[in-house]
Amino acid sequence: MKFVSEEVIDAIIDALEEHSDEQYEQQMEAFAEAQPVIFAWLFSEEFELLNEDEKGYLQYLALIAWKSIEKVNGPLGAVSEEEIGEAEEKNYEVLDASTAKKFRDRLDPFFDGSPQEDLLAFAEEAVLESEDDPDSLVSKEGREPIFIALKTIVDVLTKEG
Protein backbone atom coordinates (compact mmCIF):
# COMPACT_ATOMS: atom_id res chain seq x y z
CA MET A 1 0.00 0.00 0.00
CA LYS A 2 1.49 3.32 -1.06
CA PHE A 3 2.13 6.08 1.47
CA VAL A 4 -0.56 8.77 1.66
CA SER A 5 1.21 12.10 2.18
CA GLU A 6 0.06 15.20 3.99
CA GLU A 7 0.02 16.99 0.60
CA VAL A 8 -2.56 14.52 -0.75
CA ILE A 9 -4.70 14.83 2.38
CA ASP A 10 -4.56 18.65 2.22
CA ALA A 11 -5.49 18.61 -1.49
CA ILE A 12 -8.54 16.43 -0.72
CA ILE A 13 -9.59 18.78 2.09
CA ASP A 14 -9.17 21.81 -0.19
CA ALA A 15 -11.21 20.14 -2.93
CA LEU A 16 -14.01 19.20 -0.50
CA GLU A 17 -14.13 22.76 0.83
CA GLU A 18 -14.79 23.98 -2.73
CA HIS A 19 -17.76 21.61 -3.11
CA SER A 20 -21.35 22.72 -2.96
CA ASP A 21 -23.61 20.87 -0.51
CA GLU A 22 -24.91 18.82 -3.42
CA GLN A 23 -21.39 17.85 -4.57
CA TYR A 24 -20.49 16.96 -0.99
CA GLU A 25 -23.57 14.71 -0.78
CA GLN A 26 -22.49 13.01 -4.01
CA GLN A 27 -19.06 12.35 -2.49
CA MET A 28 -20.70 10.83 0.60
CA GLU A 29 -22.91 8.66 -1.62
CA ALA A 30 -19.84 7.46 -3.54
CA PHE A 31 -18.17 6.63 -0.22
CA ALA A 32 -21.30 4.75 0.95
CA GLU A 33 -21.39 2.74 -2.30
CA ALA A 34 -17.67 1.91 -2.24
CA GLN A 35 -17.46 1.11 1.47
CA PRO A 36 -20.99 0.21 2.66
CA VAL A 37 -19.83 -1.51 5.85
CA ILE A 38 -17.63 1.40 6.96
CA PHE A 39 -20.41 3.83 6.12
CA ALA A 40 -23.01 1.85 8.09
CA TRP A 41 -20.56 1.54 11.01
CA LEU A 42 -20.11 5.33 11.09
CA PHE A 43 -23.87 5.70 11.54
CA SER A 44 -24.18 2.89 14.08
CA GLU A 45 -24.93 2.93 17.82
CA GLU A 46 -21.19 2.60 18.33
CA PHE A 47 -20.99 6.38 18.12
CA GLU A 48 -24.10 7.32 20.12
CA LEU A 49 -21.85 9.03 22.72
CA LEU A 50 -20.95 11.64 20.12
CA ASN A 51 -23.09 14.72 19.67
CA GLU A 52 -24.55 15.46 16.21
CA ASP A 53 -21.70 17.84 15.27
CA GLU A 54 -19.11 15.24 16.25
CA LYS A 55 -20.89 12.54 14.23
CA GLY A 56 -20.96 14.78 11.17
CA TYR A 57 -17.30 15.69 11.70
CA LEU A 58 -16.33 12.00 11.99
CA GLN A 59 -18.16 11.23 8.73
CA TYR A 60 -16.37 14.15 7.05
CA LEU A 61 -12.97 12.99 8.36
CA ALA A 62 -13.68 9.41 7.23
CA LEU A 63 -14.53 10.72 3.75
CA ILE A 64 -11.21 12.60 3.63
CA ALA A 65 -9.26 9.49 4.71
CA TRP A 66 -11.03 7.26 2.17
CA LYS A 67 -10.61 9.73 -0.71
CA SER A 68 -6.93 10.30 0.17
CA ILE A 69 -6.18 6.57 0.30
CA GLU A 70 -8.03 5.94 -2.98
CA LYS A 71 -6.30 8.86 -4.71
CA VAL A 72 -2.90 7.30 -3.99
CA ASN A 73 -3.76 3.60 -4.23
CA GLY A 74 -6.70 3.48 -6.64
CA PRO A 75 -10.09 1.88 -5.94
CA LEU A 76 -10.17 -0.34 -2.87
CA GLY A 77 -12.13 -3.48 -2.15
CA ALA A 78 -15.04 -3.16 0.25
CA VAL A 79 -14.12 -3.79 3.87
CA SER A 80 -15.94 -6.40 5.98
CA GLU A 81 -17.53 -5.99 9.40
CA GLU A 82 -15.05 -8.52 10.76
CA GLU A 83 -12.06 -6.50 9.52
CA ILE A 84 -13.42 -3.36 11.18
CA GLY A 85 -14.13 -5.21 14.43
CA GLU A 86 -10.63 -6.72 14.62
CA ALA A 87 -8.84 -3.48 13.78
CA GLU A 88 -10.95 -1.46 16.21
CA GLU A 89 -10.39 -3.95 19.02
CA LYS A 90 -6.63 -3.89 18.42
CA ASN A 91 -6.62 -0.08 18.45
CA TYR A 92 -8.53 0.10 21.74
CA GLU A 93 -6.06 -2.39 23.23
CA VAL A 94 -3.15 -0.13 22.23
CA LEU A 95 -4.90 2.92 23.69
CA ASP A 96 -5.88 1.12 26.91
CA ALA A 97 -2.32 -0.18 27.37
CA SER A 98 -0.95 3.35 27.40
CA THR A 99 -0.26 4.76 30.86
CA ALA A 100 0.30 8.33 29.67
CA LYS A 101 -1.82 10.98 31.37
CA LYS A 102 -2.31 13.33 28.41
CA PHE A 103 -4.46 12.13 25.53
CA ARG A 104 -1.88 13.30 22.97
CA ASP A 105 0.81 11.19 24.69
CA ARG A 106 -1.53 8.18 24.75
CA LEU A 107 -1.55 8.33 20.95
CA ASP A 108 2.24 7.99 20.60
CA PRO A 109 2.23 4.15 20.43
CA PHE A 110 0.07 4.34 17.29
CA PHE A 111 2.84 6.15 15.42
CA ASP A 112 5.56 3.61 16.25
CA GLY A 113 6.28 1.86 12.98
CA SER A 114 3.12 3.11 11.30
CA PRO A 115 3.31 2.92 7.50
CA GLN A 116 0.73 5.74 7.26
CA GLU A 117 2.10 8.35 9.63
CA ASP A 118 0.59 11.34 7.79
CA LEU A 119 -2.92 9.85 7.92
CA LEU A 120 -2.47 9.24 11.66
CA ALA A 121 -1.22 12.79 12.14
CA PHE A 122 -4.32 13.98 10.29
CA ALA A 123 -6.51 11.96 12.69
CA GLU A 124 -4.60 13.23 15.72
CA GLU A 125 -4.82 16.88 14.62
CA ALA A 126 -8.51 16.48 13.86
CA VAL A 127 -9.32 15.52 17.46
CA LEU A 128 -6.74 17.68 19.21
CA GLU A 129 -6.57 20.87 17.17
CA SER A 130 -8.36 22.87 19.83
CA GLU A 131 -8.12 20.70 22.93
CA ASP A 132 -7.89 23.74 25.20
CA ASP A 133 -10.86 25.47 23.58
CA PRO A 134 -14.11 24.86 25.49
CA ASP A 135 -16.04 25.58 22.27
CA SER A 136 -14.06 22.97 20.36
CA LEU A 137 -15.98 20.87 17.83
CA VAL A 138 -14.66 17.67 19.43
CA SER A 139 -15.46 17.24 23.11
CA LYS A 140 -13.06 15.64 25.55
CA GLU A 141 -15.30 12.55 25.52
CA GLY A 142 -15.43 12.51 21.73
CA ARG A 143 -11.68 12.51 21.11
CA GLU A 144 -11.10 8.83 21.85
CA PRO A 145 -13.90 7.29 19.75
CA ILE A 146 -13.23 9.64 16.83
CA PHE A 147 -9.48 8.98 16.80
CA ILE A 148 -9.96 5.21 17.15
CA ALA A 149 -12.58 5.22 14.37
CA LEU A 150 -10.24 7.08 12.01
CA LYS A 151 -7.28 4.87 12.94
CA THR A 152 -9.47 1.81 12.33
CA ILE A 153 -10.56 3.12 8.92
CA VAL A 154 -6.94 3.83 7.96
CA ASP A 155 -5.96 0.32 9.11
CA VAL A 156 -8.63 -1.52 7.16
CA LEU A 157 -8.27 0.59 3.99
CA THR A 158 -4.46 0.36 3.90
CA LYS A 159 -4.14 -3.26 4.99
CA GLU A 160 -1.73 -5.24 2.84
CA GLY A 161 -3.07 -8.26 1.02
Pick from 6, 46, 70: nearest CA to 148: 46
Residue 53 pLDDT more than 70? yes
Alpha helices in the chain (DSSP H): 6-18, 21-34, 36-42, 52-73, 81-97, 103-106, 108-111, 117-128, 140-157
Q: Which residue has the higher pLDDT, 131 or 133?
A: 133
Give me the mean pLDDT over the 48-52 stretch.
94
Q: pLDDT tens, 69-104?
A: 999 999 999 999 999 999 999 999 999 999 999 999
Q: pLDDT tens, 94-103?
A: 999 999 999 9
> What's the pTM value of the predicted model, to 2 decimals?
0.94
Q: How far apart are CA 90 and CA 88, in angstroms?
A: 5
Q: How far apart are CA 102 and CA 121, in angstroms?
A: 16
Give me the mean pLDDT over the 58-66 stretch.
97
